[in-house]
């Protein structure tokens, strides 16, 4: 690894991944028990796209950051994910029911992860071999 995350960055990463996992568990549980609603019915029906987009971008982007990737490369991957999300949610009907609201939730997930990655890239990394403060 070219860089190491500072302690607050690592904690933030763990918190975001944990939130994503809890949202997925809540969504799956709501599929088993119709009386369980995650915040509200609208969010419950679209939270999977938000969470999967956020977790994928967060995990890949974080790994790339630690490997020394530039913010431009991480941003390009985020733009690719947003475009792919809209394509999947509007044109790909074989595995998916077209739903533009799902695409918007996916964009929101990418944006949440991007904010974290941007701040982490600017202030939350140290070169390997230096002190973690």
**Which pLDDT does position 7 carry in this prediction?**
95
**Which pLDDT does position 33 carry in this prediction?**
73
* Domain-located, residue 131: no
**Residue 9's CB: how many other CB atoms inside 10 A?**
23
For residue 51, what is the enclosing H or E element? helix 41-67
* Domain-located, residue 46: yes
* Domain-located, residue 129: no
* Domain-located, residue 128: no
* Domain-located, residue 55: yes
SS3 category, 38: coil
Q: Which residues of the chain have pLDDT under 70?
A: 37-39, 41-42, 130-133
C-beta separation of 72 from 124 below 8 A:
no
Give the pLDDT confidence of 27-62 residue by residue, as tens digits. Answer: 888 777 777 766 676 677 788 899 999 999 999 999
Q: Which of 1, 77, 51 is nearest to 10 (CA)?
A: 1
C-beta separation of 78 from 110 below 8 A:
yes
**Which pLDDT does position 14 carry in this prediction?**
97
* Domain-located, residue 69: yes
From the number of C-beta atoms within 10 Å of its C-beta (0-12, 13-18, 19+), residue 111 rates as middle
**Which residues constitute the domain of residue 18?**
3-123
| Count of structural domains within the chain | 1
């Amino acid at each position: 690894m070219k860089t190491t995350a500072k302690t607050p960055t690592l904690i933030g990463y763990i918190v975001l991944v944990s939130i994503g996992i809890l949202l997925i568990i809540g969504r799956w549980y709501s599929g088993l028990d119709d009386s369980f609603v995650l915040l509200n019915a609208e969010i419950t029906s679209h939270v999977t796209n938000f969470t999967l987009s956020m977790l994928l971008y967060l995990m890949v982007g974080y790994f790339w950051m630690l490997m020394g990737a530039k913010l431009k490369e991480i941003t390009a991957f985020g733009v690719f994910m947003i475009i792919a999300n809209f394509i999947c949610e509007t044109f790909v009907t074989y595995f998916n029911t077209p739903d533009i609201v799902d695409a918007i939730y996916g964009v929101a997930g990418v944006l949440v992860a991007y904010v974290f990655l941007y701040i982490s890239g600017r202030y939350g990394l140290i070169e390997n071999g230096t002190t973690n403060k």
